[in-house]
A and B are shown apart, each in its own frame.
Chain A
Amino acid sequence: MSTESPIVATVAELYATPIRTQARQQKPTFRIRPTKGWAPLNVLELWKYRDLLWILVERDTKLLYKQTALGVAWVVMQPLIAAVIFAVIFGRVARLPSDGAPYLLFVFCGLTVWTYFSQALQHAGNSLIRNAQLVSKVYFPKLLLPLAQTIRGLVDFTVTLVVLLVLMAIYRVPPTFRLAVLPVFLFFMTLTATGVALWFSALSVKYRDCTHALQYFIQIWMYASPVVYPISMIPERWRPLFALNPAVGFIEGFRWAVLGHSVLNPSLVCITIVMSLVVLFSGAFFFRRAERGFADII
């Protein structure tokens, strides 16, 4: 047998055939290049994939209700039980003020918002990891995964809201015209939740312990927000600093709109709006920058 392998000769032959190139007349549908640094938000693409967003929201809603034995009841029980516990500890024992409203109602208001917030964050925080198979095998804007969770949480929020209205009827608190402004606070609540969710979900892909850190972060954040106490408890000069926490604005605002008792400082609301937008945009840009490495690390 000859020392030179017959295969090498034929390979060389085939390789010598030039690959014909053609002049490109049209623009490519997309160019694939290595990217560095900040990536554009590409909102247009999110809009193109809106069907997928709704399907993800539907899917996760169905799954959540299929998997829990209690289903909708669980959504109602969680904040209610927490509210009762807080009402006993903070309302009766510690006697925290509640801006003139019955304490249980006061704290349930805060919890309606807070339950949405913490649930949305927790589900969104590990949404990328839970859908690792999708992330590594299909192309789609990954931002839809945490976004689907913050939107899905609004479904549970609506259920809790109904319970709140029932409580209001029980305590005979009349609804005021302030309720018309409610959607504004809800909107900024969703924006903040989405922003923080984007930060955490992106970080969780690289650092798995972030999902655990998130739980503690949420707990601490709750006590740093006026859920169980009103903002009137904070001394005047500290309030602007306190309001840097975007949760302050929409929790107080929500209570203001629903209960009709307290006074709302417009400058605080402005700070909240600005902070919500900062959190959202910083989260979105960070996510987009980290996104390119997801499929490799996850």
Chain B
Amino acid sequence: MSDVAIAVKNLSKSFKIAHQRDAGYRTLRDDLMGLPQRMLARWKRNGQLTSETFWALKDVSFEVKKGEVVGIIGRNGTGKSTLLKILSRITEPTSGGADIYGRVGALLEVGTGFHPELTGRENIFMNGAILGMKRVEIQQKFAEIVAFAGIDKFLDTPVKRYSSGMYVRLAFAVAAHLDPEILFVDEVLAVGDTEFQKKCLGKMHDVSQAGRTVIFISHSMEAISRLCPRAIWLHEGQLIVDGPSDAVIAQYSGASALSAIQT
């Protein structure tokens, strides 16, 4: 039997939303000025600074075995990206935990680390390094990356001159050659034309065939049903359904249709 790749248990993440101060950044001056006020409130024990706790994720538990491809679906703002951020160690959970077995590669946004002033070549190295590849690795895969993106004519032009399509192709090309054991992909297919989307899906299919574990967030039910045999439906931070993707998609689409009718 295959081993576990990801084990998530009671994962929860909350954010405090302050209502008192005006929207903006905290300044040291404000905090220092407000200190006597806060200390007085705490001393009096009746001080209630209105801050609402928003639960982005609440008690999410599931397991993913090695080589599984799991899709995560749900409406916007239901904690899907937060889940991947926690599993990629970008942010910490408030409670609960997860265990990861294997090297992780996360593609949460296309073109992370790209700087418009740098050339395509320089950005490949930058992006590759930030995703965790060693320089030697990037050099070895350089030709493949350029071929996948199809930008060999424009390697030495600053990226700010690229079309949005070229930009996205290059970004995905670097991430696609990451070669991790576990791959997280967050809605990156939202940008790009059909040909690009086909290429991406194809590459992700190859990755999953090679025995890698993939977690894939998407709003495209077609992509999910084609790529993922299993799907998880998150709603308002909670795991509603976890099962075969066709069934879950049916439930999700049904529920969406129902709520559309009801409103």
Interface positions of A (Cβ within 8 A of B): 5-7, 10-11, 14-15, 17, 19-22, 24-26, 28-35, 49, 51-52, 54-56, 59, 62-63, 66-67, 133-134, 136-140, 203, 206-210, 213, 292-293, 295-296
Contact = CB atoms under 8 A, between A and B. Distances in A.
B90 A55 contact: no
B44 interface: no
A210 B91 CA distance: 23
Given A22-B1, A138-B112, A208-B27, A17 B258 contact: no
Interface stretch (B127-135, B144-152, B189-197, B221-229): B127-135
Nearest to B132: A140
Interface of B: 1, 3-4, 7, 15, 25-29, 31, 61-63, 65, 85-104, 106, 108-109, 112-113, 115, 117-118, 122, 125-126, 129-135, 240-243, 247-248, 251, 254-255, 258
B90 A139 contact: yes
A21 B63 contact: yes
Given A14-B242, A136-B90, 12 more contacts: A19-B61, A21-B63, A22-B65, A24-B99, A32-B86, A34-B97, A133-B113, A134-B130, A138-B90, A139-B89, A208-B25, A293-B92
Contact of A7 (B97, B106, B125, B255): B255
Which applies to chain B's interface (DSSP): helix, strand, loop or mixed?
mixed
- Counting chain B CB atoms within 10 Å of each CB, the highest count among A63, A66, A137, A296 belongs to A137
Given A26-B101, A133-B112, A295 B258 contact: no
B28 A22 contact: no
A14 B248 contact: yes
A293 B85 CA distance: 13
Contacts of A49: 132
Given A7-B258, A14-B243, A25-B3, A137 B129 contact: no
Nearest to A207: B28
A213 B28 contact: yes
A231 B104 CA distance: 54
- Counting chain B CB atoms within 10 Å of each CB, the highest count among A6, A35, A59, A62 belongs to A59
Contacts of A56: 129
A30 B102 CA distance: 8
23 contacts: A7-B251, A14-B247, A14-B251, A15-B242, A20-B63, A22-B3, A28-B7, A31-B97, A33-B93, A34-B95, A35-B92, A52-B129, A55-B129, A63-B115, A133-B112, A134-B112, A134-B130, A137-B108, A138-B108, A139-B88, A203-B28, A207-B31, A209-B28
